[in-house]
């Protein structure tokens, strides 16, 4: 029985849940969800089944358009909408050759949130999406870009660090959070990259983030269509196995890609070398060369995710892959993450002598 004046753990937990609700209220209101956790947009993985499962469990699913064409995207949006009545988003790559048609598809399908990734978007694209009634989210890899995006009218930002899987920037999530969160208050900011437990989610919320985006943690969800061999590779891997691709020539900037090391990563180096030779010889321009690099990753990723070729395909994974230890339903993963955040707050309250934290 607790001593007089010192709350029991049940009271501490209630207060902790109230504190957590207050911390991510802005993110929840922006997303229209119970939990301010976004699913990372992972090509071939973030499709109707995983996206709807995330949204149905109270989080926020995001369809990865990747290399999908307009008709394929329209089909995926409609299929997802048939599986959930809760909010979800579509992630569009700005380098996609049919980006404007893809934006039109999102407007026609009345998508509520559109995430633009892969480069600084045109202001007219942001205005066009907002005019359709959707909210626009963009990735900010540095404070100056964050400020520029806010001026362009984006509704929210995602700061994704180098710990993330797939295409990633050069700066860690922790540093980006320190640079951007204290300086950008106009719009909600979501932290991403290397986040796999509730304690990390809590830390970024307390730094000022409105919520967090997690990708790698959901690859091995029961609802994920990733091939069993792909999931096994994730479950076996540790953080150090998720390595960045190498840029061979500074004249040819290549966006780093983080993936589990295998023969596929070696094949990318050889492909890159051939592309650089063609670029240097004047056979292709920089944009065409970059698209060819992107096509390599899209094909290699499909071979791994869908076909299960974990030796030669691309095993894009964030450094949080070491926290993936089993295949679990999405709802169970989310409950664990929330539970870890709450437990951290309870431990703190207990250490502080039972003062607890205010709710909201």
Contact predicate 167/255, CB 8 Å: yes
Q: What is the reported pLDDT for 7?
A: 57
Contact in structure between 59 and 211 (CB atoms under 8 Å): no
Check if CATH label 3.20.20.70 holds for domain 9-226+324-351.
Answer: yes
Is the Cα dihedral 190, 194, 197, 202 positive or negative?
A: negative
What is the rounded distance in angstroms from the CA atom of residue 159 to the CA atom of residue 181?
A: 9
**Given a cut of 80, is residue 246 above it in pLDDT?**
no
pLDDT at 1 over 70: no
Nearest one of 207, 311, 213 to 259, comparing CA atoms: 311
Cα 39 to Cα 314: distance, rounded to the nearest angstrom: 20
Pair 218, 333: CB distance under 8 Å: yes
pLDDT in tens, 114-151: 999 988 999 999 999 999 999 999 999 999 999 999 99
**Which uninterrupted H or E stretch holds 131?**
helix 123-131
Q: Where in the chain is the domain with CATH 3.20.20.70?
A: 9-226+324-351
Q: Quote the CA–CA distance of 32 and 24 in Å, as a whole number.
A: 12
Q: How far apart are CA 124 and CA 35, in angstroms?
A: 31
How confident is the model at residue 336, as a pLDDT?
98
CA distance 341 to 332: 14
Does the pLDDT at position 205 exceed 70?
A: yes
Bridge partners of 93?
117
Q: Is the pLDDT at 296 greater than 80, yes or no?
A: no
Can you give the pTM of this predicted structure? 0.91
- What one-character-per-residue DSSP string does 180-216 give? HTTT--SS-EEEESS--SHHHHHHHHHHT-SEEEE-G
Q: How many CB atoms lie within 10 A of CB 269?
A: 12
Q: Which helix (H) or strand (E) holds 16?
A: helix 9-23
For residues 211 and 33, the answer to whether their CB atoms sit within 8 Å is no
Confidence of residue 251 (pLDDT cuts 50, 70, 90): low
Least-confidence region, from 90-94, 125-129, 264-268, 317-321:
264-268
For residue 295, pLDDT beyond 80:
no
Instruction: Please tell me which residue, 268 or 138, carries the higher pLDDT value.
Output: 138
Residue 351's pLDDT is 92
Mean pLDDT value of segment 104-110: 97
Under 8 Å between Cβ of 360 and 18: yes
Please say if the pLDDT value at position 239 is more than 80.
yes
Q: Which of 143-152, 252-261, 301-310 has the lowest mean pLDDT?
A: 252-261
Instruction: Give pLDDT tens digits for 146-199.
Output: 999 999 999 999 999 999 999 888 899 999 999 999 999 999 999 999 999 999
Please give the Cα distance from 118 to 167 (Å, whole number): 8
User: Is-contact 106 135, C-beta < 8 A?
Assistant: no
> How high is the mean pLDDT of the chain?
92
Q: Is 158 helix (H, G, I), strand (E, B) or coil?
A: strand
pLDDT for the residue numbered 355:
45
Whether residue 269 is predicted with pLDDT greater than 60 in this model: the reply is: yes
pLDDT band per the 50, 70, 90 thresholds, residue 356: very low
Residue 8: the pLDDT is 67
pLDDT by residue (tens digit) across 14-50?
999 999 999 999 999 999 999 999 999 999 999 999 9
Please enumerate, as own/partner, the contacts of 167-170 that have beta carbons within 8 Å and a separation of 24 or more. 167/118, 167/255, 167/256, 167/257, 168/193, 168/244, 168/255, 168/256, 168/257, 168/258, 169/141, 169/256, 170/141, 170/256
Q: What is the mean pLDDT of residues 85-105?
A: 95
Average pLDDT over residues 305-330: 96
Q: Phi-psi bin for 90: left (phi > 0), alpha (psi -120 to 50), beta? A: beta
How confident is the model over 217-226, as pLDDT tens digits?
Answer: 999 999 999 9
How far is CA 195 from its chain centroid? 10
């Amino acid at each position: 029985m607790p001593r007089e004046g010192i709350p029991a753990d049940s009271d501490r937990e209630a207060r902790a849940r109230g504190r957590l609700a207050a911390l991510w209220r802005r993110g929840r209101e922006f997303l229209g969800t119970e939990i301010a956790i976004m699913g990372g947009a992972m090509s071939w993985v973030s499709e109707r089944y995983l996206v709807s499962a995330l949204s149905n469990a109270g989080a926020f699913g995001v369809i990865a358009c990747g290399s999908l064409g307009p008709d394929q995207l329209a089909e995926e949006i409609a299929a997802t909408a048939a599986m959930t009545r809760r909010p979800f988003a579509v992630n569009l790559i700005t380098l996609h050759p049919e980006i404007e048609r893809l934006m039109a598809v999102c407007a026609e399908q009345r998508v509520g949130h559109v995430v633009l990734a892969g480069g600084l978007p045109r202001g007219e694209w942001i205005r066009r999406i907002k005019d359709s009634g959707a909210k626009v989210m963009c990735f900010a890899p540095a404070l100056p870009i964050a400020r520029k995006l806010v001026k362009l009218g984006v509704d929210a930002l995602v700061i994704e660090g180098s710990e993330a899987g797939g295409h990633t920037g050069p700066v860690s999530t922790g540093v980006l959070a320190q640079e951007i969160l204290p300086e950008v208050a106009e719009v909600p900011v979501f932290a991403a990259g290397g986040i796999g437990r509730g304690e990390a989610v809590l830390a970024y919320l307390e730094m000022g983030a409105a919520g967090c985006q997690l990708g790698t943690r959901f690859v091995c969800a029961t609802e994920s269509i990733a091939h069993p061999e792909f999931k096994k590779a994730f479950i076996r891997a540790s953080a150090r196995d998720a390595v960045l691709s190498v840029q061979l020539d500074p004249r040819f900037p290549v966006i780093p890609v983080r993936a589990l090391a295998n023969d596929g990563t070696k094949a990318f180096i050889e492909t890159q070398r051939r592309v650089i030779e063609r670029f240097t010889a004047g056979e292709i321009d920089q944009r065409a060369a970059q698209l060819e690099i992107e096509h390599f990753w899209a094909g290699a990723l499909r071979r791994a995710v869908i076909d299960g070729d974990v030796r030669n395909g691309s095993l894009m994974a964030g450094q949080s892959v070491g926290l993936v230890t089993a295949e679990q339903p999405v709802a169970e993963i989310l409950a664990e993450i929330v539970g870890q955040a709450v437990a951290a707050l309870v431990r703190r309250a207990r250490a502080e002598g039972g003062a607890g934290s205010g709710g909201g």
